[in-house]
Amino acid sequence: MASKSNPNNNKNPQNTEASLIPSINSPIFISSESLHSILSHHSLIQHFHSSLPTVSSTINTPIRQNYPVSPSSSLLLMPSWSSSPSLPYLGVKLVTHFPQNSSLNLPGVHANYVLFSSATGQPLASMDGTVLTLYRTACVSGLASKLLARNDSEVLVMIGSGALAPHLIKAHLAANPSLQKVIIWNRTIKKAIDLAENLQGTNDCSGVCFESNESLEEIIGLGDIVSCATNAEVPLVKGERLKAGAHLDLVGSFMPTMKECDDEAIRRGRVYVDNEAALVEAGELVGAFERGVIRKEDVGGNLVELIRKGDKVGRKNAEEITVFKSVGSAVVDILAAQLVYETYAKNKR
């Protein structure tokens, strides 16, 4: 007589992973408006803080693929997937770069993020990749300032007032509740004035004083945290002007030809990066290595190592200058998409 099989003996790891994915009958589209209602900078910083140390080593992130579709435009594909049961997803960010769109009064960059189940391959969601990238980029910087800036930081200097600037300001405020004042600089001063007026008194920025200033040299030394989000190829931040104990956050550069600060800022500061790609992509660091300002082995560590605390030492004292350089990665893309999707699914129950 044949024995009955025990269903517990037929467990498949993929079935276990699939059971952890919130159940939605068909793929969903999450608009930019929905993203804003789902995400907060505080919640995403907390998600990165708790998730990066445990799952970052399980995430595969191939080199991004860049396809020219015309002499001036391109398509970029940025895939990632995880082998962790707690992150049962596969995701791809698709980005189009059409710089000529400015003549049509359209953005030059558009992006979409597509999320699949890594257990079944089932498509789960598609969401606005541009907004997702703004949140995840800013929250990586916010998390870094939480770990590296002084606990008594009061003044944030924001250099640049593009689409990323308000997100960076809100992320740093969420991570550093001691901040009381934000000073904004932009080459076009009206943009700095408008951003300061738009943020003053909003829910995310209540109790914080906002100012704009057209003298960059004057305000650099005021910043306990100095955050840069520009396309500068000539350094904007002069290291000699940074105050003792300042934290410098560099976001804008992603090619060796770009740099937001000079060699003196790198020399004076203890440098940290979001991931190792920054060592070969960021102009501030590539140039500093070439000129012997610092060596690669002088870099204090990456974001995951900082979170783990035992791996690398962060700020050593109140007088030390810290520098954080980020270039982005598909790791934080998929973690941000996870939070968006799972929050959306939970709210729909």
d(CA 46, CA 40): 10
DSSP secondary structure letter of residue 22: P
CA 332, CA 300: separation in Å to the nearest integer?
20
CA dihedral sign, ordered 198, 200, 205, 206: negative
d(CA 103, CA 40): 33
pLDDT for the residue numbered 1: 42
* Amino acid letter, 83: S
Q: What is the per-residue pLDDT for 26?
A: 81
pLDDT at residue 6, as a whole number: 46
Positive or negative, the CA dihedral 292, 293, 295, 296 is: negative
Give CA–CA dist 249/237, Å, rounded. Answer: 11
Q: Give yes or no for a contact between 179 and 172, defined as CB atoms under 8 angstroms apart.
A: yes
For residue 309, the model assigns a pLDDT of 76
Comparing CA positions, the residue from 185, 145, 190 lying closest to residue 41 is 145
Is there a contact between 342 and 334 (Cβ–Cβ < 8 Å)?
A: no
C-alpha to C-alpha distance for 189 and 212, rounded to whole angstroms: 8
pLDDT tens sequence for the chain (349 residues): 444 444 444 444 455 455 556 655 689 999 999 999 999 999 999 999 999 999 999 999 998 898 999 998 999 999 999 999 999 999 999 999 998 887 898 888 899 999 999 999 999 999 999 999 999 999 999 999 999 999 999 999 999 999 999 999 999 999 999 999 999 999 999 999 999 999 998 888 989 999 999 999 999 999 999 999 998 999 999 999 999 999 999 999 888 889 999 999 999 999 999 999 999 989 999 999 999 999 999 999 999 999 987 667 899 999 999 999 999 999 999 999 999 999 999 888 7
Q: What is the DSSP letter of 318?
A: T
pLDDT at 117: 95
Closest CA to 203 of 50, 71, 40, 327: 40
3-state secondary structure at position 324: strand
pLDDT at 24: 59
User: Of 33, 15, 44, nearest to 339 (Cα)?
Assistant: 44
pLDDT at 25: 67
